[in-house]
Amino acid sequence: MNRYLCIALAAGSIVSTSAFADVKLATAKNCMACHAIDKKVVGPAFKDVAAKYGSQKGAEDALVQKVLKGSTGAWGGMPMPANTGVNEKEARTLVQWVLQQK
C-alpha cells in the first residue's frame, strides 16, 4: 500500500511541476503581459483559446505559427505581435499547455 501511495505522489508531483513550468515559461516569454488563464486581458483568456481551438484538427500547428509570426483578426481588431523571444520548441510547449486550459 505504501509503495502505491509513493508512486501516486511522485506522478502527481511530475504533473504539477510540468504545469507550473509552463506557467513559468509563459511568464518568462511575456505571454502573461497580454493573456491570463481565465480572463481576458489585452488578448483572450487561455481557457477561451482552448475552447475555441481545442477540438480543431491542426490547431496546435496553426497556433504555434501564430505565436511565432503573430496574428490579426482572430479575436477582434487587436493584433497579436510575433513573439520573437520564443523558439519553435518553446512555442509548441506553450500552445500544448494553452490547449489544456479547458
Give the CATH number of the domain where residue 73 resides.
1.10.760.10
Domain count, the chain: 1
Q: Which domain holds residue 27?
A: 2-99
Residues in the chain, pLDDT under 50? 1-2, 4-17
Q: How far is CA 93 from CA 34, 62, 90, in A?
A: 18, 13, 5
* Residue-level pLDDT at 19: 60
pLDDT at 1: 46
